[in-house]
Chains A and B, each alone.
Chain A
Amino acid sequence: MNGEIAAILAMDGIASGAIYVLIGLGLVLIFAVTRVIFVPFGDIAAFTALSLASLETGGRPGTVGLVAVLAVLATAVEAIALARNRAFHRLPRALLFYLVLPLIPAAAVWFAAGTTLSMPLRIVLSLALVLPIAPLLDRIVFRPIADASVLLLLTVAVALHFALSGLGLMFFGPEGVRTKPLTDAVFDVAGLIVNGQMLLILAASIVFCGLLFLYFEFTIQGKALRATAVNRVGARLVGIRPTSTGTIAYLLASLLAGISGVLIAPVTTIFYDSGFLLGLKAFVGAIIGAMVSYPVTALGAVMVGLLESFTSFWLSAYKEVLVFSLLIPVLLWRSLSFAGTEEEEAEE
């Protein structure tokens, strides 16, 4: 290995790490606010890529049907809950949020199918299409069991992942897709060839990390999210509604997943089940951040990307093994330095 190869590998590793950063941050965000380890999170990224690809070929993405079904289900669940509490005056609002808003992008895509759209419009549409999936799933699946233990929530999330990837197979078919590159630009930096796509991934990752930081530091909503993450009961006492912070967390995280899906689709082939491994690797990053720290998660995710890149050079057959083995020392170190704070929280 010489310096040039090392530089190329490092660049490649940082690029794939940047994708893991986006997904990892989303995972941590959802976990911190709702205590759900949202396993199907990678699927959201894959669905965005698949939707984008079918828009590109002029098809009608299967996500439209998925969103419609979920919206109807969520509205029904919400309506029943409201009827039980005899809070009928809140029904119009529920209809707006659970039925009308999610269906707007779905309807737009439904009618746009077959026409050729410009690239930015396609990206915006597929993002808008995928955004409601996680919040709707939250309303249907997780909110009724919001106070259950972390373990139960995790089990449900795993089951949800299998359901989603099954639906993915139904809607998108078994073949993989690859979208057109977002940019064809190629730069020559000190003798190294850097393609524009890679820079775009890096830039997006940095920009969204920055935005997330600003959001948490300087907006009331962001602070409410942080408060819920620190202490749910305390947040409720000061007038923050955990259900709405949960929805915001899911929306924000879905946006991150969607962006990473859009970024990754031109770089590799995405299958209906590609999301799981993406999510799993981001999860390793999130574990390094102990599922609470955003900066450490980002660092961990980049580390996973780098490790992956260098092991693919040295020992490609054992790449996956080595990446996931990273969990063992990290978990050991984590469990030695913190003595089970999450367990206590779960038992409250």
Chain B
Amino acid sequence: MKNSIFAAVLAASLGAATAAQAEITVGFITSQSGPGSSIGVLYDRGMKAALEYASSVGAEKIKFIQLDDGSDPSAATRNARKLVEENKVDLLIGTSTAASTSAMVPIANELKVPMIAISPISVAANDAGDRWAIVMPQPPTLMVKVVVDRMKRDGVKQFAYIGFSDAWGDLVYNGAQKPAEADGLKMLTNERYARTDTSVTGQVLKMMAAKPDAVLLGGAATQGALPALALTERGYKGPLYGTPALLNTDFIRVGGKSVEGVQVSAGPVIVAEQLPDSHFSKKISMDFRAAYQKANGTPTSDGFSAYSFDAWLVFLDAAKRAMATGAKPGTPEFRVALKNAIFSTKDLVGTHAIYNYKPSDSYGVDERSLVMVRLVNGQWKFEP
């Protein structure tokens, strides 16, 4: 008897729970602990700014669930599955390391939930040829292409390359090859070093011996400054170029005078204040800055938090169109509608780019999503 009453109560409460789930549910995973947390925390703050900016689709409230993956790909996978199976989310957004983000994609494909990746990864379609995930950031090849094109404009004929001896170093090197060939630039060296290395003297000597007009840095963050320091020590005076991976306060702190004048490609949001008013990113980026300040109590100048913000904009835009199809949130039909809406995003203005997604491709940005910036007196300056 008691049991049946209990069961009835349980059923009633479950029923209430399902009824309440008519609102759109979004699951967000980021790394708030572990080695990926330096970026993960920024993603988290960017998302807080996004919620501050808009927390509903039209009149429809959004239920937002956030989990920490501890920078561990298997935890990211577990959390993604939990969000879909237990919390019945309509959309997944995540996460801060490429490995964890890549690990979430198969879950999205398998459970047929749209996903927005906020780390640059390459996404494969599932077995049926469907894509369920889009990627917000600029693809690495594009980040490098813009830099190589700028080198050509600056009159560089041949340049030396030094990068990390990991996947990132490979991405930059491979990304530079094609545009360099197209622009008629010669890449003289392919030198590599590890993040834990204490010296790059050998690599730098070899680069100097090749007499480059410029040097392309394929490192990241703090240790991205190591070759610049060694180059200065050996008397190199030519220009330095790099990727957005160098947009980091520790890079500036450690590099000091040696990295002064380095030019890197960056999302326009990085230099939002300096953009001309006619630039697409100016208004939305300033709105983002304001929302960020309000939500987190600190100003921002990083690009990572803006990816979460843009992911939210893409979602809001797509959700509006998905709701128009009449599908009810929390159902498989709605997820399909949302996916179709996301993959037909057209000319959506975000802080980083103007997003256009097509069913055939998970990347949706073009060259407008990157501007060149130069480090002057420890500050990034817009270089039109």
Contact = CB atoms under 8 A, between A and B. Distances in A.
Contacts of B198: 16, 19, 264, 267-268, 278
A269 B201 contact: no
Given A269-B222, A317-B190, A12 B202 contact: yes
Interface stretch (A219-227, A228-236, A307-315, A338-346): A307-315
Interface in A165-209: 169, 173-176, 178, 193, 195
Contacts of A309: 199, 201-202
B192 A310 contact: no
Most buried by A among B191, B198, B225: B198
B202 A9 contact: yes
A133 B250 CA distance: 28
A191 B201 CA distance: 17
Interface in B190-207: 190-203, 205-206
Contacts of A273: 196
A320 interface: yes
Interface in A62-87: none
B165 interface: yes
Given A12-B199, A271-B195, A309-B201, A169 B38 contact: no
A211 interface: no
Contacts of A278: 196, 198
A98 B200 CA distance: 42
Contacts of B34: 169
Nearest to A320: B194
B195 A317 contact: no
Contacts of A269: 222-223, 225-226, 254
Contacts of A271: 195-196, 222
Contact of B205 (A9, A195, A267, A277): A9
B165 A317 contact: yes
Counting chain B CB atoms within 10 Å of each CB, which of A19, A268, A316, A317 scores highest?
A: A316
B37 A316 contact: no
B321 to A, nearest CB: 39
Interface in A307-337: 309-314, 316-317, 319-320
Nearest to A274: B196
A313 B165 contact: no
A15 B201 CA distance: 11
B209 interface: yes
Contacts, number: 90
Contacts of A9: 201-202, 205
B35 interface: yes
B369 to A, nearest CB: 27
A5 interface: yes
B64 to A, nearest CB: 26
A299 interface: no
B199 A176 contact: no
Given A169-B34, A174-B35, A316-B191, A5 B199 contact: no
Contacts of A173: 38
Given A169-B34, A178-B254, A274-B196, A12 B201 contact: yes
B75 to A, nearest CB: 15
A8 B38 contact: no
Interface string A3-25: 00100110010011001000000
A179 to B, nearest CB: 11
Interface string B175-196: 0000000000000001111111
29 contacts: A5-B205, A8-B201, A9-B202, A16-B199, A173-B38, A176-B222, A176-B250, A176-B254, A178-B222, A195-B233, A264-B198, A267-B199, A271-B222, A274-B196, A276-B196, A277-B194, A277-B196, A309-B202, A310-B202, A312-B199, A312-B202, A313-B205, A314-B202, A316-B193, A316-B203, A317-B165, A317-B192, A319-B193, A319-B194
Given A5-B209, A176-B223, A310-B202, 13 more contacts: A264-B198, A269-B222, A271-B222, A278-B196, A309-B201, A312-B203, A316-B162, A316-B193, A316-B203, A316-B206, A319-B192, A319-B194, A320-B165
